[in-house]
Amino acid sequence: LAAIQDLGMLSMTSNFDNEVEILRSRTLIKKVVNDMGLYIDMEESNALGFNPPLYKNSPVNVFITPEEADRLVAPVELRMRYTKEGQLTVRAEYKIDKEGDEETMEQGFDRLPAILPTPVGVFSFTGMDSIPELEGGEIELVAHVHTPTSTAEAYGKELSVTPSSKTTTIAKVSLRNTVR
């Protein structure tokens, strides 16, 4: 009887180990990165050098499809100036190939939503429904677009999945993510 029970525990432990590996899989992490748009970082530009991240509080939302973002050879930087009147100026810096020089494109929009086609992909800009009061009537923003694959790899390195104790099948999931 004890041998049969041991087999059951072994099976449960093995299943739990499989579940832990699934939680740490690159495929699942990349799906989360794509679904949540984590491959696009949005910050408020600050003259003092530290750009505070805006997360979901940005007055402008930037989007490029994960498929187009995965074809980037280098991160794209989008510097934006957004006014309380809803006007947006975008300066895009990107590379078309790894060895090539960085190229720049600048475009102004009278209102949002707006679309900026570039040689590396099509970027769309939408305004948020609730815009915080802009000091001085405008805000300077910086967005960095990375490949979802490289973003998923970075999150995977900082992800920890462990059992909460030796006798349980509850996983403790933690992510170490710092703003530098």
What string of DSSP letters covers 130-146?
Answer: SPPPPGGGEEEEEEEE-
Q: Which structural domain range is residue 116 located in?
A: 40-146
pTM of the model: 0.81
54-101 pLDDT, tens digit per residue, is 777 788 999 999 999 999 999 999 999 999 888 999 999 999 988 888
Looking at the structure, tell me whether residues 142 and 165 fall in a common domain: no
Where is mean pLDDT largest: 38-47, 68-77, 98-107?
68-77
Average pLDDT, integer, range 102-125? 95
The continuous run of DSSP H or E covering 6 comes out as: helix 2-23
For residues 76, 82, 88, 92, the Cα torsion angle rounded to the nearest 10 degrees is -20
Looking at the structure, tell me whether residues 86 and 50 fall in a common domain: yes
**Residue 170: per-residue pLDDT:** 80
Looking at the structure, tell me whether residues 79 and 138 fall in a common domain: yes
> Residue 53 has what DSSP assignment?
B
Do residues 145 and 62 lie in contact, with contact meaning Cβ atoms separated by under 8 Å? yes
Find tokens 């509080």 and name the residue. 57
Looking at the structure, tell me whether residues 44 and 132 fall in a common domain: yes
User: Rg for the chain (alpha carbons), in Å?
Assistant: 22
